[in-house]
Structure 1
Amino acid sequence: MAIEKQVVILTEAASFQVKEMMAHNEEEHASLRVAVKGGGCSGLSYGMAFDNDVNEDDFTDNQFGIRILVSKDDAGILQGTKIDFKQSLMGGGFTIDNPNALASCGCGTSFKAAARPAEPQSCE
């Protein structure tokens, strides 16, 4: 059985964007999975995807009507991470502020964390 615990913080602006994407992709009943994977020039990168499966070792939380899933393996690296959505004249995008990141790359898509060493890769 999944464990209820807030790992990431989703802002209201991010939740509006997630809900819009869910509706566009006909995924209104899915959960938002936030994950960490190997990749990027700093070694780790973030992933967000819609998921209909809840694993036994997932941490779950509901924010602004969105069920958020984080695996037990990723929870330590993501604890306290704030996900926001910023709109500008150049378009919009999600921003991720992770207090556990030791360093971020110049392109802003990857990071380094003490809890999970990873080999840097190209930023393509």
Structure 2
Amino acid sequence: MGVTLTDSAAKHVANFLQKRGKGIGLRLGVRTSGCSGMAYKLEFVDEVNEDDLIFETSGVKVVVDAKSLPYLEGMELDFAREGLNEGFKFNNPNVKDQCGCGESFNV
């Protein structure tokens, strides 16, 4: 099943990587944080680690470390613009609860 990107998210990541001038794709993971226990972490990837898994959508690679995958399995990453705000939206079927501000979650 893995992790997928919507067309909007894939275009945004591809455009940013092109402007950046380097990079393999987007690294997605989780870390312990926030009032609900976990938070997402996003960063651009320049090299793949030995325990990484790679998922590709619309030509864009999403790199996930093996420890984060159980929390992200089946997730779809979207990118949306709403008025003056824009950002990634995490559509994660594993989330059981999240904090009121939406910054952290638990499974």
TM-score normalised by L of structure 1: 0.79
Equivalence for 1:8: 3
Cα distance in 2, alignment partners of residues 31 and 90 from structure 1: 26
3-state SS, counterpart of residue 48 of structure 2: coil
Unaligned stretches of 5+ in structure 1?
A: 1-5, 114-124
For the Cα contact (< 8 Å) 2:13–2:25, is it kept in 1?
Answer: no
For the Cα contact (< 8 Å) 2:4–2:56, is it kept in 1?
Answer: no
Equivalence for 2:80: 86
Cα distance in 2, alignment partners of residues 86 and 96 from structure 1: 11
Q: How big is each residue's C-alpha offset from its partner over 1:17-46, in whole Å with a ceiling of 9 and x where there is no partner?
A: 11122223223x422111001112211100
Cα distance in 2, alignment partners of residues 12 and 95 from structure 1: 13
Q: How many aligned residue pairs are there?
A: 107
Report the Cα offset of residue 94 of structure 1: 0.7
Equivalence for 2:100: 106
Equivalence for 1:18: 13
Partner residue of 1:39 out of 8, 33, 36: 33
Q: Which runs of 4+ in 1 moved over 6 A?
A: none
Amino acid at match of 2:52: D
Unaligned stretches of 5+ in structure 2?
A: none
Task: Work out which of the two has the higher radius of gyration on C-alpha atoms and give 1 or 2.
Answer: 1
Q: How big is each residue's C-alpha offset from its partner over 1:5-64, in whole Å with a ceiling of 9 and x where there is no partner?
A: x5211000001111122223223x422111001112211100111112212221112211
